[in-house]
Amino acid sequence: MQLQFGNRSRDPDIRHLFDMTDVIFDKAWLAGAEDFDLYFMYRDLYLSRADNEKLLAQGLRYDITIIPPSMLGREYIKTAGHYHPAVSGGAVTYPELYEVLEGEALYLLQNEDMSDVAIVHASAGDKVLVPPGYGHVTINRSNNTLKMANFVARDFSSLYEPYRAKGGAAYFFTREGWIKNQRCSKAADLRRLEAPDSAGLAKLGLKKSQEMYPQLREAGTLEYLTRPGDHLELFKGLI
């Protein structure tokens, strides 16, 4: 499933069902399921050589992920879930900026001790900033394909093991609604949020009506993604 981005066709990294057996809720369904493609990740995208040079200079990466509609037994299709490591030499972890290009998404955010768990609903044009200290899972609950983009620092590897160790996130979204993960008994109750409004986006130099990709051409506007410790005030009140 190639993606046409600018003048280039890009092949994806593919997440398969059997890559995620540890975090699937419906184990009875999983026991009889065959492997199939869940979602498609197109990493390190750029429209021109100049854009690529700007991304490299800022230590950033621009990706697109496509999640077709599907059910994993009783559970709606989702990503595997991961946290980010701390910036080298500090205690603040890397954030990540998402944008829904098509469809709608549920972003399930949780901090490491699960004392805060929030679900953010986002539709086309919405941007969601995953702040330092939070892991996240993306869920496609609709009958339409979800296409989303992200900006993230390029020089780290995501941490998937905490989600695998708990059998998934703090909650699963199913046909019956939200079900708490029994292995996360101390997790906080879900907070339900909408994506940032115009005022919240303005703090990030963003608008719902404009795609975020051109921000890579404005030096310094995305520095909070690579040097979050210098921008802690920016993250307050966003979730």
- The answer, yes or no, to whether residue 1 has pLDDT greater than 90, is no
Model pLDDT for residues 136-180, shown as the tens digit of each residue: 999 999 999 999 999 999 999 999 999 999 999 999 999 999 999
Residue 239's pLDDT is 74
Task: Name the domain count of the chain.
Answer: 1
The residues facing 35 across adjacent strands are none
Q: What distance in Å separates the CA atoms of residue 40 and residue 65, rounded to the nearest whole number?
A: 6
b/e string for 151-175 if b means 16 or more Cβ within 10 A?
Answer: bbbbebeeebeebeebbbbbbbbbe
DSSP letter at 155 equals S
Residue 161 belongs to domain with CATH number: 2.60.120.10
Model pLDDT for residues 185-227, shown as the tens digit of each residue: 999 999 999 999 998 899 899 999 999 999 999 989 999 999 9
Q: What distance in Å separates the CA atoms of residue 66 and residue 45, rounded to the nearest whole number?
A: 14
Other Cβ atoms less than 10 A from the Cβ of 10: the count is 15
Confidence of residue 236 (pLDDT cuts 50, 70, 90): confident
Amino acid at 169: A
Provide the domain limits for residue 63. 3-235
User: Percent of the chain, pLDDT > 70?
Assistant: 100
The residues facing 42 across adjacent strands are 64
Instruction: Count H helices and E strands in the chain, helices first.
Output: 5, 16
What is the overall mean pLDDT for the chain? 96
pTM for this predicted structure: 0.96
